[in-house]
Amino acid sequence: MIPLSWYLLLSAALFSLGVIGFLIKRNLITVFMSIELMLNGVNLSFVTFAHQWHLVKGQIFVFFVMVVAAAEAAVGLAIIIAIFRTRATLAVDRIDLMKL
Amino acid sequence: MSGHLYLWLIPALPFAGFLLNGIFGAKLPKSLVTTIALLAPLGSFALVVNAAATIFLYVSRCKLCGPPDYGWSILPLNELHGAWITSGRLQIDFSFVLDQLSLVMLLIITGVGFLIHIYSVGYMSEERGYWRYFAYLNLFLFFMTVLVLAGNALLMFVGWEGVGLASYLLIGFWFQKTPAADAGKKAFVVNRIGDFGFLIGIFLLLSTFGNLTFAEIGARLAADPAMQGGVVTAIALCLLVGATGKSAQLPLYVWLPDAMEGPTPVSALIHAATMVTAGVYMIARTHAIYDRSPFALSVVAIVGAATALFAATIALVQTDIKRVLAYSTVSQLGYMFLGCGVAAYSVGVFHLMTHAFFKALLFLAAGSVIHGLGGEQDLRRMGGLRKNMPITFWTMTIAVVAIAGIPPFAGFFSKDAILYAAYQEGAGGKILWFVGWLTAGLTAFYMFRLWYLAFLGESRADLHAEDEGALVHARSDTKLTLEAEHHHTPHESPWSMLGPLVILAVLSVIGGWVGAGRFGAFLAPSVGARTAEAASNTLEITLTALAVLIAVIGWFVAHRLYRNYAGEEPLARASFPYKLLTHKYWVDELYGTLIVKPILAVSRFVLEMLVDFAILGGIAWLLAGMASFGGALLQRWQSGNLRSYAAWLAAGAAALLLFALVPWTTVLADVGIHLNSAGH
Amino acid sequence: MNELNQTILTWILLVPIIGAVVIAILPDRGKLSAWLALITALVSFGLTLHLPTHFIVGQPGFQFEINKPWIDNPAIFYHVGVDGLSLWMVVLTGLLAPVGVLASWNPIRQRQKIFYSLFLVQQTAMFGVFVSLDLMVYYGFWELSLVPMAILIAMYGRKDGVKAAIKFFIFTFVPSAPLLVAIIWLYVRTGSFNFSDLQMLVANGSLPADALFWTALAFLFAFAVKVPVFPLHGWLADAFCEAPVALAMVIAGKLGLYSMLRFHVGLFPVQARAIAPLLIALTVIGILYGACVALVQRDFWRLIAFATLSHFSLTTLGIYGLNLTGRNGAIYQILNEGVIEGALFVLLGVLDTRYANSQIASFGGVASRLPRTATFFVITTLAMVGLPMLNGFVGEFLILSSTFMNVSRGWAVAATLTIILGAAYALWLVQRLFYGPQSQMTAATPAADLHLHEWVALVPLAVLMLVMGVAPSLWLRSIERSTAQPPSKQAIANPELFSNSQQETAR
Amino acid sequence: MNSADSLRILPEIILTLTGVLLMLVDASLSPAVTRRPLGWIAAFGTMFALWASIWQLSLGTGTGFFGAVETSPFTVFFHVLICGIVLVAILIALDSLPEESHHQGEYFALIVFGAVGMCLLTSAIELLVVFIALEISSISTYILAGYRKHNAQGPESGIKYFLLGSFATAFLLYGIALIFGATGTTQIYEIAEKVGGSQNHALVVMALMLMMVGMLFKVSAAPFHLWTPDVYEGAPSPVVALLSTAPKAGVFALLLRVTYEMLPALRSVWEPLLWAVAVGSMTIGNLAALRQQNVKRMLAYSSIAHAGYLLAAFAGMGPSGIAAASFYTAAYAAMNVGVFAVITVVSGYDDHLPLIRDFRGLLYRSPFLGILLIFFLISLVGIPFTGGFFGKFYAFSAAVGGGAVALAIIGLLNSGIAAAYYLRLAFAAAQRPADGDEPLRIALPQLGVAVGAALLFTTGTTLWLGIRPNAVLRAAEMAAHTLQVPAGEAPAAAVNQPGVSQSPQPHP
């Protein structure tokens, strides 16, 4: 049987990859996907812990996270469309009209 | 003694006059202003005379029924009018004291003061600020009588500063003229230097005696014969600083010549007869302290002698008639100081009195000359006035003779007494005597020089002096007011001016006849009798003869040099000394360079620019700059880039995890740092 | 009348606020606001006069006391009252209210409604500072007093009001941060904001000494900036240049000096004694420094600012001489300065309004054009330079003599130099402004002499200068004999302080 | 689930229904019809929710939905606060949203939905509900931040808020996951029980830190504050009024729960952390604000600083800290919403007067608005007799009471620095208009009824909190007491006492 800690490590790795993706990717969509990756990393942790504690609560949590992620995706994509309409770009680095 | 002398009314009347004229004067008719202005000093004078008469009557009545001097024990007479300042143990009262000394002073002040008021009616008649002038003059009398009547040092200080104020206002009476305004300010500020000394003296008195009442201080000193030198000397010297300021002695005399910018009657009253003698009065009043400090006394004597000689030399070459008299005043005040300095206070006061008569007369006569010449003050452009202004000429002559010290005029007696007293003061006294004696000669010389230049010879009114600037300056006195009558022949002054001249002339003749001895005896209860060894008659007669001799020599020299004066200054032949004297030893310039300019420069460049602006402002600027710089740095952080924000967020998260998970206390303990507690 | 004694202080605090609200509600039309403000100011002045007439001289402790709970936790009480120290401060503040309104009559033409409303709020704040006996209430009024002042400086500044206002605000607000911490700390340790309780608790030694040292220092620092004391005066000159005269006349001095007396020397006598030498040195430096720098100023507002620094330093010297006479002198001098500065600012305001200029060099010969202004100015100047028989002298004398006798002869002599320097800058100012031939500007600008309202403002002040100079006992009596006594322990520790009858009075 | 459970979330239900109603009505109205009445519906719905919150006091302290939500004086306090803020934000928006906009209905609906999330956040005692509530609130505000979608800055503001917000929420979520892993539960009381007194639970500490990242981000505390200025600048002023106060109030409530209720055992961890964050936030916020020329950015930095002041209260021990923080939240909300209300009126929905110098002469142009602006700024400075003063006073009193004297001194010195920039704006408003300026560069709009009411309400509250804070303070203390002791134990009885329900609330 695969030890629980492996799942946790994978979850942490996924989360970190999400973070790194957020930091290094230059396309808004990709950045946004990185967040999804982070959430999924967390989801994996929830499932792992649910398994460990033999509690269904963890899985339920995952469902909610997924629902919320879906809602976020809708809102996020809408905002990205608005960005594209006004700026005609999806490059993260060019969205820096407001600074200092 | 029955009856009340209403001493408080003596200052109160002039004060009422000041208030009435000062507040409503601009709207009152001129005649009413004159009435108020004259009634006030007249009333005061009458009160003083009444007081004197009452006392003398009482004394003479007592003589019939008791020991001869019993009657005088009613003096000093105290009048208390409540507390002025009270705080803790400190209480300063409005206390007026009438004794022989203040009685004499009051008679001089109100008497001469009244005469000069009358004179002013004529002299200032054309003046627009007529009411203002008399308001100030009344104010002066108020403060001067307060000064003289004051029963404690602080009340005396009130009068002391007050007369300074009146002097300031009157010197600057023609404030539209820059020199007048300057002179007024200078007088006040220089006097303040003296007042500083006086005030420190008062503090010392207060801390030594716990008290400022003259009688109390005298009693304390009398009770403690051991009190000598030390703090007493310090007090005496501090008071002396005050006296040198007010009485224009070295080194603070510089304001008095400039004060001649004021109207001439003011010069007569304030800057000759009364206010400037306040220093002498003060020393006489506090003689109990000076008596305990031989050192301070000798300083007084030296200051007096030095001033007398110093001012007399400057007076030799002055060409402005009023400046000659001004330096002469400084010089004569030096005599009075000399007299006080040899502990002959009564003699000093005696000279004060005679000087009040003849110097007031000199100034008033000079004023009459100036008035008659339409504002001309330059001796070089006078001459021959004897014919046009006979009364002025004769009264002036009496005054000149009196100040020169020729018997039997007033100045002779008092000056002679001072020189005699000085001579008796041991070896140093001989030097003092010699200086005084020399000064007497110089005095005779410059006074007769003035006399010759102004009254004898031919009129030089059309002579153009080489130094037009100085001339304009010298003429500026009544220029503004007398512009209308500027160009016409010299004329005699109205009787309102001549009357006082005549009265003062009479006083200048007979003022000294009472004699220093009898005067001294009268003043003895106030200022102490001088316990000099009975001097030989021959010595006295020799000294007198020498004094008269040098006066005559002075006259003779003046006669030789100035009888035929035609616009060329004979003294100018000695070129360096002449230059030195015409520039008054460059003392004003010296003070300007050594004191005024450094203070201003330090204030501007060190205090304002360096300390205030650079250092203090710099610190504030630096703090603000640091905050602003911090803000700028933080703004750079705010790059606007989403990914950098996220990076910082992630870094923050990492920092938090590090913060929480690394056992800092253990780690730090390992490297040798021990924290008492986690966190703060 | 007895009922009024119970509520008089509340009325004094409320009346200006009510006036401010009424002015704020009514339209800003013509001189309506000014008249309302004048009426309010006169009413509040009238109310303050109730205090000295019903004040019982010689009764220890506070009078007209009100003590009601305000906030439960922390326990803040609406606790007000006056003693000999604050009595005349309140009256002075009341007096300067109508003077301030009259001084603003001409210069303030725009947005009078805001001006007078805020002016009256300021009035309440100052009253509040003087009557509060609860530290939090006191602090509230202390801070509140900054606000209308700063806003009005910004609104009506002559050149760069905003900068001056910010400078003023920051300078006085930042030091009050440690003050607030100190007050909170005291509360945390003692559970009380009550002045008398704290006085007792501090005196009986139940608080740690080193912490008390810092607490006292925090108090002192806040007050010293407000006075201001020598190195902390950076805000003063700018504020004087920019503030409307009605506010400039109260901006410095009395709030800080009163607070020093009540809340530093009064609350922390031991700590005050420890720090007194430093303050004495600073104040003497301030006296001479202010006077010297005033000598070389080119703008008369700045000149007056440095002169003020000099004068308030002298007053502070009286406070930190820590003896009865110095204290009396200091309190009296606060009143004097209030009256003198009031008149001085009205007069300089007259010049500034008439000529729209404050550069001394531009003036000259004004006395020929405005003789009455010149007369009042000279009188005020003389009072300022401490001419005897005018009020300035009495305070100066008491302070300097007590310093000389009880503190240090050297410092006293140095401080006394101010009578020379003070005369120099003041008379030089008079001369340059008023005397001499008329300058180009003076001759070219038509200017009217004093208007009726200025006249009305100045005459009482001039009369007061004379009366306070001639009969100071009228004030000194209640100041000396009714100042709330600190607890006995301190009196034992320091018998010289606050004792008033060991030796017979001099006569 | 039963009706009693529903009552525990009655305000949320009311708000949700209002939101749904708004959406439906908006969709069914023709595009030509004005949407203003929708705003009034939203306002009345919020008021109803507010009333319901107060009414909840009569339920007594207790939980619902199997320990997922709680009603207690604490939740009521924050509910009332949030509903109040939302109400004012709606009122401001009512008069400032441009008439031609077709999205007004959405706008009000989003605000109301956001309010549901924020309210729920304060009453949630189950981390799942916390997460959902946070997301409800966030998603609404993401959209609102980018509401001016035709303006280049609007969407940028939205995307920044959205991406960074989601990023931070992921950390929070990870934290929740870890704590679930460590304790096997996500119910706050149960976690508290499980963690017990043990302090050396690395997983819990890590979880706490990750949750802190999410929460500190939402309250814009340093070093997670970077989004704040950009988002505030791009968002419409009425939204910023909401954004800078209501979600923060909710998250502060959560922070209080997490620290004082869930993990009091880890005080030694979170207290120094919050100490440092407080100092950092106030210093960074104030220093950065000093140089700002843009009013909204400046106020954004100011809100960072205020988060710092508020966090200072966490140095306070027990109830005093909680009460101080709660009170501060209320006071800050009142004055900050007020200041944004004024800015909205002056500068408009489209920010046509964005800079400080544009405000020059406001006091001359409009004395009423000018004096209100100055009043709110003065309150933000923390001058007595305003709410801001007592807020600061209680926060720093709590800190001094907790022994953190240095923190109090730093904080108050910071408020001195802060005075510099607040006053720059205040005094610019007070300054005489420059001679070259025409009297009104852009005519100020007439004050509408709604925004007038909003101004009146915020002014009144700020003043009331400054002069007579007793009632609110008592409410905050009561709230603090319920938080200190796990529910179901002592305070239930205490809160059910008669007399308590006589509205100790800040809002009428």
Compute the radius of gyration of chain D from its Cα atoms: 21
Residue C491 lies in a domain: yes
Taking the C-alpha atoms of residue C492 and residue B418, their distance in angstroms, rounded to an integer, is: 58
Listing DSSP states for B32-75 in one string gives HHHHHHHHHHHHHHHHHHHHHHHHHHHHHHHHHHS-TTGGGGGP
DSSP-based three-state secondary structure for B152? strand
- Could you tell me the maximum CA-CA distance found in chain B, to the nearest angstrom? 120
Residue D317 lies in a domain: yes
Q: Are strands D62-64 and C76-82 parallel, antiparallel or unpaired?
A: unpaired
Interface test with C, best of D431, D459, D472, D477 (most C CBs within 10 A): D431
* CB-CB neighbors (< 8 A) of D364 in chain C: 110-111, 155
Lowest-confidence segment of A88-97, C116-125, D192-201 by average pLDDT: D192-201
pLDDT of residue C477: 84
CB contact under 8 A, B639 and A95: no
pTM: 0.90
pLDDT of residue C313: 94
pLDDT of residue B595: 87
Residue C392 lies in a domain: yes
Residue-wise burial string across D321-338, b where 16 or more C-beta atoms lie within 10 A, e elsewhere: bbbbbbbbbbbbbbbbbb
| Helices and strands in chain B: count of H runs, count of E runs | 29, 2
Residue-wise burial string across C292-302, b where 16 or more C-beta atoms lie within 10 A, e elsewhere: bbbbbbebbbb
C-alpha to C-alpha distances, B526 to B95, B99, B104, B224, nearest whole angstrom: 17, 7, 11, 19
> What digits encode the pLDDT tens for the residues D54-112?
999 998 888 888 889 999 999 999 999 999 999 999 999 988 887 766 678 889 999 99
pLDDT of residue D497: 36
pLDDT of residue C506: 36
Lowest-confidence segment of B203-217, B531-545, C405-419, D172-186 by average pLDDT: B531-545
Q: H or E segment at B81?
A: strand B77-87
Give the pLDDT mean for D279-301: 93
pLDDT of residue C309: 93
Interface test with B, best of D159, D160, D290 (most B CBs within 10 A): D290
Contacts 24+ apart (CB under 8 A), B598-607: B599/C292, B599/C295, B600/C295, B600/C296, B602/C292, B603/C292, B603/C293, B603/C295, B603/C296, B604/C296, B607/C289, B607/C292, B607/C293
Contact yes or no for A27/A90 (Cβ under 8 A): yes
Q: What's the first-to-final CA gap in chain A, in angstroms? A: 54
Tokens coding D332: 């800050």
> pLDDT category, D495, cuts 50, 70, 90?
very low
Taking the C-alpha atoms of residue C195 and residue D158, their distance in angstroms, rounded to an integer, is: 54
Residue C371 lies in a domain: yes
Polymer length of chain B: 680
Of C179, C60, C13, B423, the residue nearest D412 (C-alpha): C179
Chains B and A touch (3+ CB pairs under 8 A): yes
* CB-CB neighbors (< 8 A) of C410 in chain B: none
Q: By 3-state DSSP, what share of chain C in percent is helix, strand and coil, each rounded to 5?
A: 75, 5, 20
Taking the C-alpha atoms of residue D402 and residue B108, their distance in angstroms, rounded to an integer, is: 81
Of B198, B184, B353, B369, the residue nearest B272 (C-alpha): B353
Q: Does A85 touch chain D (CB under 8 A)?
A: yes
pLDDT of residue D269: 86
List the Cα angle B11/B17/B20 in 5-degree steps: 140
Lowest-confidence segment of B337-341, C499-503, D412-416 by average pLDDT: C499-503
The answer for D 167-196 residues in CB contact with B (under 8 A) is: 167-168, 171
Of D482, D480, D483, D478, the residue nearest D501 (C-alpha): D478
Residue C501 lies in a domain: yes
Lowest-confidence segment of B609-618, C8-17, C186-195, C494-503 by average pLDDT: C494-503
C-alpha to C-alpha distances, B18 to B133, B166, B651, C427, nearest whole angstrom: 10, 11, 84, 22
Lowest-confidence segment of B227-241, B653-667, C11-25, C204-218 by average pLDDT: B653-667
pLDDT of residue B463: 57
Cα C414 to chain centroid, rounded:
24
Side-chain-side CA neighbours of B116 within 13 Å: the count stands at: 35
pLDDT of residue B531: 53
Considering only CB atoms, A98 lies closest to which of B640, B643, B647, namely B640
Contact yes or no for C390/C333 (Cβ under 8 A): no
The mean pLDDT of chain B is 85
For residue D22, the distance in angstroms to the closest alpha carbon of chain A comes to 19
> What digits encode the pLDDT tens for the residues B445-492?
999 998 888 888 777 776 544 444 444 444 444 444 444 444 457 778
Cα D276 to chain centroid, rounded:
22
Taking the C-alpha atoms of residue D443 and residue D218, their distance in angstroms, rounded to an integer, is: 37
The mean pLDDT of chain A is 91
What domain range is D58 assigned to?
A: 3-483
DSSP-based three-state secondary structure for C190? helix
pLDDT of residue D484: 64
Tokens coding B457: 């010879």
Residue D497 lies in a domain: no
Of B239, B195, B191, the residue nearest B217 (C-alpha): B239
DSSP state of C110: S
> pLDDT category, B670, cuts 50, 70, 90?
confident
CB contact under 8 A, C181 and D400: yes
Domain count, chain C: 1
Closest residue in B to C167 (Cα–Cα): B620
What domain range is C378 assigned to?
A: 296-507
Residue D508 lies in a domain: no
Q: Which residues 6+ apart lie within 8 Å of B239 measured at CB? A: B197, B198, B201, B282, B283, B286, B289
Taking the C-alpha atoms of residue B492 and residue D314, their distance in angstroms, rounded to an integer, is: 98
Residue D507 lies in a domain: no
pLDDT of residue C253: 83
pLDDT of residue B476: 43
Contact yes or no for B163/B270 (Cβ under 8 A): yes
Residue type, B566: A
Listing DSSP states for B259-286 in one string gives GGGS-HHHHHIIIIISGGGHHHHHHHHT
Contact yes or no for B100/B526 (Cβ under 8 A): yes
Neighbours of chain A (3+ CB pairs under 8 A): B, D
Residue D235 has pLDDT above 70, yes or no: yes
CB contact under 8 A, B639 and A99: yes
Tell me whether residue D7 is exposed, middle or buried, using C-beta atoms within 10 angstroms of its C-beta: 0 to 12, 13 to 18, 19 or more.
middle
Compute the radius of gyration of chain C from its Cα atoms: 22
pLDDT of residue B535: 60
* CB-CB neighbors (< 8 A) of C293 in chain B: 603, 607-608, 612
Residue D376 lies in a domain: yes
Residue C245 lies in a domain: no
Compute the radius of gyration of chain B from its Cα atoms: 33
Of D132, D4, D67, D59, the residue nearest D487 (C-alpha): D67
Residue D476 has pLDDT above 50, yes or no: yes
Considering only CB atoms, D177 lies closest to which of A46, A53, A80, namely A46
Of D111, D137, D269, D108, the residue nearest D214 (C-alpha): D137
pLDDT of residue C499: 39
pLDDT of residue D492: 35
pLDDT of residue D502: 36
Asked if omega into B76 is within 30° of 0 (cis), the reply is yes
Residue C316 lies in a domain: yes
Taking the C-alpha atoms of residue D380 and residue D375, their distance in angstroms, rounded to an integer, is: 9
Percent of chain B with pLDDT over 70: 92
The pair phi, psi for residue C352, each rounded to 5°, is: -65, -40
Q: Does D70 touch chain B (CB under 8 A)?
A: no
Contact yes or no for D492/D60 (Cβ under 8 A): yes
> pLDDT category, B386, cuts 50, 70, 90?
confident
Interface test with D, best of B642, B657, B662 (most D CBs within 10 A): B642
Residue C493 has pLDDT above 60, yes or no: no
> What digits encode the pLDDT tens for the residues B401-424?
999 888 888 888 888 888 888 888
Chains A and C touch (3+ CB pairs under 8 A): no
Taking the C-alpha atoms of residue D334 and residue D348, their distance in angstroms, rounded to an integer, is: 20
For residue D212, the distance in angstroms to the closest alpha carbon of chain B comes to 8
Phi/psi-derived region of residue B374, left when phi > 0, alpha when psi is between -120 and 50, beta in every other case:
left
Considering only CB atoms, B203 lies closest to which of C328, C405, C502, namely C405
Domain count, chain D: 1
Q: By 3-state DSSP, what share of chain B in percent is helix, strand and coil, each rounded to 5?
A: 75, 5, 20
> pLDDT category, C486, cuts 50, 70, 90?
low
- Between these two residues, C485 and B618, which has the higher pLDDT value? B618
The pair phi, psi for residue C31, each rounded to 5°, is: -100, 15
Question: Complex ipTM, two decimals?
Answer: 0.88
Q: How many CB atoms lie within 10 A of CB A26?
A: 12
Contact yes or no for D192/D261 (Cβ under 8 A): yes
Residue D111 lies in a domain: yes
Q: How many CB atoms lie within 10 A of CB A92?
A: 23
Tokens coding C381: 């100047």
> pLDDT category, D505, cuts 50, 70, 90?
very low
Tokens coding C130: 């003087």
Contact yes or no for D105/D26 (Cβ under 8 A): yes
> What digits encode the pLDDT tens for the residues C91-113?
999 999 999 999 998 888 888 88
Highest-pLDDT range among B170-184, B578-592, D118-132: D118-132
Of B174, B164, B167, the residue nearest B130 (C-alpha): B174
Residue D59 lies in a domain: yes
CB contact under 8 A, C184 and D397: yes
Query: Which residues face B378 on adjacent strands?
Result: B320
Taking the C-alpha atoms of residue C393 and residue C388, their distance in angstroms, rounded to an integer, is: 5
* CB-CB neighbors (< 8 A) of C174 in chain D: 413, 416-417, 419
Give the pLDDT mean for D170-198: 89
Q: H or E segment at C71?
A: strand C63-71
Residue type, B95: S
Size of interface A-D (CB pairs under 8 A): 121
DSSP state of D261: I
Considering only CB atoms, A64 lies closest to which of D132, D157, D297, namely D132
